Structure 1
């Protein structure tokens, strides 16, 4: 990874000037400007203040050490179908580490006290993973409706339920425009609100579709909890506990696109604002201990999930590394912070990929389960 990435070309294009016009202002040849932009040479140090004044940015911004304050924000688009159309593999790999079946059974039968068949609607259902788990536990005759923006994920959900005896329906819809006339006994979502710019509005829709006495349940992450809940034996804990760096990135995402890294911890308050009663919160008890001395099939399954969902199985090219650093800087990190993050990720990746048969990991997502009654 480069320690300096000149942003002269980007600044010049944004200002709408040619290399020759910039060269004339600085008193150099246009060939010199061309060499700066393609990375062949660096401008003389005496020219940096002139460049700073001309483009109205700091020298650190010109050198690519700090994010450009006037750069257009690049949204990740996690509320769009195009994003989720390519996430089926990720969802399948990550969902296997979400739940202990006996704990979900405990919630349904002992905490929520569901003794009669109910009609469920699942907001952002993905490929129906949570729905299938619930229907195996709920009283016979319960129904399930899944709503998602991605037809790719819904097609997979239909396949998942194809040979089951359960009564199901799947609806392709953007949740922002979604509306139904039916009322449901339960509206649920899992790992959805974190990815949306308007979580409170979607929660209100969930409240609207349940009948009086019905339940609204949100299963969500708090990124700070999740990030701190990982330990890999053999690696310094600080290598993967990157919360202090990521907080800057998360706060920028919240300010620029509404993606709230701490939404999981705020949902009970939102539920109260939406008029729900008997609000309570549980924390999912699933903790994944990846241990080569245990069941080998489970070990391989959980290790694959850990590696693939974090992208630790990929060898990135220099250009791919630069693109990620650029994305991080667009979200408020300095280049040094982004490079430290990438170096740490590479260390973890190399360790895991080199020790696949002898890795010890403890990981918890600390999923918060908030629920209330209408």
Structure 2
């Protein structure tokens, strides 16, 4: 078993990515926003199981190719298995993206929920820029966690009783300051793109709103509920000294930590398969071109 953490999260990745986008919206981005009307060479930084390749290749002009860069050996194996019988020109490279050097040979460099896990995201962004030709495009799909956290509603439940936005904002900011890994990077990317010299910078948001409808088909409801659970809805932390100490270590007071754990446990108790819920992840989609 690989020790790389994301090699142990493949099922989670496959079960939750669909919560972000409707296919017609991705088609709109490809054709009407990015105006991709000729075959292109894509490189995906932190490709995982090849999710972006699976979504974008069917929408791109015939002759396009996709290269996935990924540290996880098990993720690479899953990606190769998925694409084995698909009619696309793909390559997967098992590598350490923080150290790999890539020549300027691609038309588009991509990332999906990857930069937030990097201790030096500007370094990775520069590698992405260096990997594309002149006029090449950088496209990053990255989250803004504090926005995601507020972007849901549960019938009959006051959001403030189960989700403490001020405390979460404090945790996210202090975690980013301590480790460099920033779950709110999605909203920073337009600024970073421009600061790194990219032009034509623009940012959009993902379109999908997930509705756990008590009148929907039971099979579809079960799939949606389980995916939302895996995405983190209804996670119940242990009410223990260890949990409190972990939050204190991240910058909360003991009282704040206890209140946070109590709120998360209330959320877990309220969120069941019988809950009426809407949730929009609002992934930020930033693009810019190299001049």
TM-score category (smaller protein):
over 0.9
The residue aligned with 1:294 is: 216
Say how many residue pairs are matched. 289
1:322 corresponds to which of 231, 241, 258: 241
- 2:265 matched residue in structure 1: 346
Distance 2:29 2:216 in 1: 28
Q: Secondary structure at the match of 1:177?
A: coil
Structure 1: 5+ residue runs without aligned partners? 1-79
Which residue matches 1:332? 251
Identify the residue that residue 367 of structure 1 maps to in structure 2. Answer: 283
CA contact (8 A) 2:137 2:289 kept: yes
Q: Give 1:312 deviation, angstroms.
A: 3.0
Quote the Cα distance in structure 1 between the aligned partners of 2:226 and 2:199: 41
CA separation in 2, counterparts of 1:313 and 1:332? 21
**How far is the alpha carbon of 1:309 from its aligned partner?**
2.4
Match of 2:8 among 66, 73, 86: 86
Q: Distance in 1 between the 2:107 and 2:96 partners?
A: 22
- How far, CA to CA, are the matches of 1:159 and 1:103 in structure 2? 27
Q: Which residue of structure 2 aligns with residue 280 of structure 1?
A: 202
5 Å matches for 1:153-232?
153-181=75-103, 183-232=105-154
What does 1:1-374 align with in structure 2 at a 5 Å threshold? 82-181=4-103, 183-310=105-232, 312=234, 321-353=240-272, 356=273, 358-374=274-290
Runs of 5+ unmatched residues, structure 2: none
Deviation at 1:250, TM superposition (A): 1.3
How far did residue 174 of structure 1 move? 1.6
Could you tell me how far apart the structure 1 residues matched to 2:214 and 2:172 are?
A: 34
More moved, 329-338 vs 101-110: 329-338
Deviation at 1:338, TM superposition (A): 1.6
Moved more, 214-223 or 256-265: 256-265
Query: TM-score, normalization: structure 1?
Result: 0.73
Q: Contact 2:41–2:108 at 8 Å: present in 1 too?
A: yes
> Alignment partner of 1:85: what SS?
helix
d(CA) in 1 for partners of 2:196, 2:128: 10
Which structure: greater strand fraction? 2
CA 1:346 to 1:106, structure 2 compared with 1: closer, same or farther past 3 Å?
Answer: same
- In structure 2, the residue matched to 1:34 is none
- The CA deviation string for residues 191-217 of structure 1, in whole angstroms up to 9 with x for no partner, is 111111111111111000001111100
Q: Partner of 2:137: helix, strand, or coil?
A: strand
Report how far residue 133 of structure 1 moved. 0.5
Please say if residues 230 and 241 of structure 1, whose CA atoms lie closer than 8 Å, have aligned partners that are also in contact.
Answer: no
Alignment partner of 1:96: what SS? Answer: helix
How much has 1:366 moved relative to structure 2? 1.3
Who wins on radius of gyration, i.e. which is larger? Answer: 1
